[in-house]
Amino acid sequence: MSPRRSSAGRLPLLKVLRRSSSSWARRSAFAAPWVLVVLLCFGCGRHRPQPLTRLVSVGTYNLHLYGFHDRTGDGQRTNPKPETERQAVADVITRMHCDILAIQEIGHRAVLEGLLADLRRRGVEYPHVEFLQRGDSELNLALLSRFPIIATRPRLLDTYTIGGESRLVARGFIDVDVDIGAKRPLRVFVAHLKSRAFHPLGQTEMRRNEARLLSNHVRQALRENPDAWVVVAGDLNDSPRSAPLRLLLGDPAAPLLHDLRPQDDAGGVWTWEDRENDEYARLDYVLVSSALRRCTVGEVRIERDSPASLASDHRPVVARFQIRPMP
């Protein structure tokens, strides 16, 4: 009797174990797909996939009198840039493959639209444009972008005092935020500082004052966000060690901006030529903040293809940055 009771006593326990095991299996089978979904949605710690990077290219190009000017010496600004030169400009820009392009010496708005039409015929689209003109000037600034321009701050009211006179920055500055799909926008300044042509007030001192005002805007941007991606692009009309450039670059121990020194395929660094006098100089720059400098990849290049010599007395500069998009 005792063994029988012992055997009978074990039977309910076995049934409970089997029932419990079966219930656990059913619950596990139900829960497994949901566990998989959670793991796929939220990742697995350090093995979570990282977002890919993308290259963003920024260039600058002085188009050399791309508007109506006196080209015959009759005192009338009625002559457009010759057709061969205009088509050469479009060819050069097409070969640059820039995402964001700062241009100088563009004519009025209709002239800019003509350039954009020439580019579209070559399959090049810039849907976002910032244009800056003072009065009826034919030496204007523009920014062409494949990315949305999300904020604009046209700088046309900056003044300085020289020789007892108060003067406006002749061509102003473009100042925009461009949404490149990253964790922060790209702050872009476009500048064309005072030319090196003679002026009774002193062209060098005028250019230095314009550079000082531009550097103030850059300092303010970096005070607001020390990690901002800032680029200054354009024709600064002076050499790398000149007073205007020193103002923009700041103290070497704590730089405001960095000069991305470009070169062409042959190692040349000049971006402007005076063909009549066989003079060459580097006047066109892409300057960047410290945070953006860390994103620079490859060499900053100067275009030297044959259309460039026909299109303008300046050669364009292109820099590329490796940016991590928003996940």
State pLDDT tens for residues 117-173.
Answer: 999 999 999 999 999 999 999 999 999 999 999 999 999 999 999 999 999 999 999
74 and 111 both lie in a single domain: yes
Q: How confident is the model at residue 51, as a pLDDT?
A: 55
138 and 259 both lie in a single domain: yes
Its sign, for the CA torsion 265, 268, 270, 272, is negative
Q: How confident is the model at residue 218, as a pLDDT?
A: 98
User: Is pLDDT above 90 for 264?
Assistant: yes
User: Is pLDDT above 70 for 10?
Assistant: no
Q: For residue 279, how many C-alpha atoms fall within 13 Å in the half-sphere facing its CB?
A: 6
CA torsion, ordered 300, 302, 307, 311, to nearest 10 deg: 110
Is residue 104 within 8 Å of 192, Cβ to Cβ?
yes
Q: How confident is the model at residue 50, as a pLDDT?
A: 52
114 and 17 both lie in a single domain: no
Query: Per mean pLDDT, which range of 41-50, 111-120, 243-252 is the poorest?
Result: 41-50
Q: 């450039």: which residue's tokens?
A: 245
266 and 168 both lie in a single domain: yes
Q: How confident is the model at residue 174, as a pLDDT?
A: 98
Burial status of residue 68 (CB atoms within 10 A of its CB: 0-12, 13-18, 19 or more): middle
Out of 47, 66, 83, a domain closes at: 47
Q: 């007395």: which residue's tokens?
A: 313
pTM here is 0.83
20 and 105 both lie in a single domain: no
Burial status of residue 134 (CB atoms within 10 A of its CB: 0-12, 13-18, 19 or more): middle
Structure confidence by residue, pLDDT tens digits, 283-318: 999 999 999 999 998 889 999 887 898 999 999 999
Q: How confident is the model at residue 241, as a pLDDT?
A: 95
The total of structural domains in the chain comes to 2
290 and 161 both lie in a single domain: yes
Domain span including residue 23:
2-47
Is residue 154 within 8 Å of 197, Cβ to Cβ?
no
Q: How confident is the model at residue 275, as a pLDDT?
A: 87
Q: How confident is the model at residue 104, as a pLDDT?
A: 98
Q: 């596990």: which residue's tokens?
A: 28
Share of the chain above pLDDT 70, in %: 84
106 and 194 both lie in a single domain: yes
110 and 203 both lie in a single domain: yes
Is residue 132 within 8 Å of 192, Cβ to Cβ?
no
308 and 260 both lie in a single domain: yes
Q: How many residues does the chain have?
A: 327
For residue 244, count other CB atoms closer than 10 A to its CB: 25
43 and 111 both lie in a single domain: no
Is residue 285 within 8 Å of 34, Cβ to Cβ?
no
pLDDT (average), residues 187-194: 98
267 and 188 both lie in a single domain: yes
262 and 179 both lie in a single domain: yes
Phi/psi zone of residue 229: left (φ > 0), alpha (ψ -120 to 50 degrees), beta?
A: beta
User: Is pLDDT above 70 for 22?
Assistant: no
User: Is pLDDT above 60 for 6?
Assistant: no
Confidence of residue 52 (pLDDT cuts 50, 70, 90): confident
Confidence of residue 38 (pLDDT cuts 50, 70, 90): very low
Burial status of residue 226 (CB atoms within 10 A of its CB: 0-12, 13-18, 19 or more): exposed
Structure confidence by residue, pLDDT tens digits, 219-238: 999 999 999 999 999 999 99
Confidence of residue 327 (pLDDT cuts 50, 70, 90): low
